[in-house]
Amino acid sequence: MAVENSTTNGTSHTNGEAANGTIRKPEIVIVGGSLGGLFAGVALKSHGYNTTLLERTPENLLHNQGAGIVAGGDTIEFFKRYDRTGKPVAVPSYKRLYLNQKGDVIHEEVNRQNMTSWDLCYYLLRANYDRIDSPYLEGGKLPEVRPTDGKVTYRSGCTVTDLEDQGSQVRVHFKRRQDDGTEIDDFIQTDHVVAADGPSSSIRAIFEPDIQRKYAGYCVIRGTVPELEVTEAAREVFAERFCFFHAPGIQNLTYTIAGEHGNTNPGHRLLNFVWYANFPEGEPELEKLMTDKDGRRRHITIPPGMISWDAWEMVKSMGHARLPPQMAEMADKTKAPFVQCITDVIAPKNLFMSDKVVLIGDALAGFRPHTVASTSQAAFNAMSLVEWFDGRIDRTQFVKQTMQFARELQDMGVKIGNRSQFETLPVEEYIKDRNFASIKREDREYPEWTMHGLDKA
């Protein structure tokens, strides 16, 4: 086994063998309680590791992000391996369609893909991690407790501020929110830290302060509409389809996802649109878009319900002028649109503090969404982590497989995103890009440069 661990009194040893001869697995603190942190928490729990998850959001449950997610191979594989609820996580899409601006289908190909939603994944993971019951489990069950499971502790309102190297252990400093809203300083001593604190990761910033998210020059406007609320013309191209439109400075894709409480039955599902549009830095349109209804200039995200009235009118009229009618209809009918600036960020390595700290998911590499691989990266990182901790792969293999994937996909996202938004190409080129992005992780060829410096990482 490759993992160094320690007893609570700080003596270092390997192979989980404590000084008194009993087997003790390392204690782990996970920073961030979104999908990445929960993938890690569920996998580690199933393999007998005790975890404490620290999430900065004060409420026990995160807000529904109202978003569809294309469930890549590793997301599906994760639920196959670790889900104990038995609830289906995905809605299938059977075809990819490409539209012209009039709304006619100009290309179609048979291609099975799985679509899920952020909230369904989240509630299934919370059920598997700390047995949170919810209507999302309908048709499934609350997972059984197994004697071999590790202990889990979920702590909300805890914002990690610093990590201190204590030799064989790490001291995790955090601000803990109390019931009266005030915060106090606290810390936990642990063997390992899994940083799943997202693309603006404060753990990454401790070790790599110069790595910043960079705006890519365009935004994504997102929203959902219940499938029964759209016209027949829209349902025809979006229901159980993965539907695309490309034009200069625009890409729109729309697909079916689970509806309320993860309902995957026809008639109860949602149509989810993802609309990329160019908003150059410094232009008044970007300022208007990113200034919320309370007049606050948001840096990266306008959450559901917070877009200003005039910004949304601007977006809808762009839709009428530039999008196929079925896609413009989606913007007209969505009730809680939200906006994200597309950014780029990747850490040069994923292990720090003599391997006691590991970055996973978006904290390691925030991909452009065109890759449809961010959730899968987080799932893959979590599965790889337990393989390494359990000694089924060694450190070198762990670093190689996670970093090569992160580097290749991050680079690919920049290339296909820039081609889509800043070049005017025949639709065949965009279809080629889409198909390239869909190659499975295990079938990808990783260029030589994705290995550079990993032996020293």
Ligand X SMILES: Cc1cc2nc3c(=O)[nH]c(=O)nc-3n(C[C@H](O)[C@H](O)[C@H](O)COP(=O)(O)OP(=O)(O)OC[C@H]3O[C@@H](n4cnc5c(N)ncnc54)[C@H](O)[C@@H]3O)c2cc1C
Residues of the shown chain interacting with ligand X in the complex, contacts defined by CB under 6 A = 31-37, 54-57, 62, 65, 67, 69-70, 118, 159-160, 196-199, 202, 222, 361-363, 369, 372-376, 378
Separation CA 38–CA 154 (nearest Å): 10
CB of 33 to ligand X, least distance (A): 5
CB of 126 to ligand X, least distance (A): 12
Decide the pairing of beta strands 28-31 and 51-54: parallel
Q: CB-wise, 374 or 401, nearer to ligand X? A: 374
CB of 243 to ligand X, least distance (A): 14
CB of 274 to ligand X, least distance (A): 7
* Three-state DSSP state, 219: strand
Separation CA 241–CA 251 (nearest Å): 16
Q: CB-wise, 100 or 200, nearer to ligand X? A: 200
* Three-state DSSP state, 327: helix
The structure tokens 């009428």 sit at 320
| 413: Cβ contacts below 8 Å, ≥ 6 apart | 344, 367, 368, 369, 370, 371, 373
List beta partners, residue 270: 226, 257
Please provide residue 18's backbone torsions phi and psi, each rounded to the nearest 5 degrees.
-80, 165
Q: CB-wise, 7 or 83, nearer to ligand X? A: 83
CA 34 to chain centre: 8
Supply 455's token pair.
Answer: 């032996």
CB of 184 to ligand X, least distance (A): 15
Amino acid letter at 429?
E
CB of 456 to ligand X, least distance (A): 25
Return the number of other C-beta atoms located less than 10 Å from residue 287's C-beta. Answer: 12
Q: CB-wise, 168 or 410, nearer to ligand X? A: 410
CB of 292 to ligand X, least distance (A): 16
CB burial of 4-27 (b: ≥16 within 10 Å; e: otherwise) equals bbbbeeeeeeeebebeeeeebbbb
Separation CA 305–CA 294 (nearest Å): 11
Q: CB-wise, 18 or 206, nearer to ligand X? A: 206
Q: CB-wise, 196 or 341, nearer to ligand X? A: 196
Supply 271's token pair.
Answer: 């149509």
Q: CB-wise, 365 or 399, nearer to ligand X? A: 365
DSSP string, 73-94: HHHHHHHHHH--S-----EEEE
Q: CB-wise, 99 or 373, nearer to ligand X? A: 373
Contact call for residues 216 and 342 (beta carbons, < 8 A): yes
CB of 379 to ligand X, least distance (A): 9
* Three-state DSSP state, 115: strand
Supply 208's token pair.
Answer: 């790599």
CB of 93 to ligand X, least distance (A): 12
Q: CB-wise, 65 or 350, nearer to ligand X? A: 65
CA 155 to chain centre: 20
Q: CB-wise, 69 or 393, nearer to ligand X? A: 69
CB of 117 to ligand X, least distance (A): 9
The structure tokens 């160094």 sit at 4
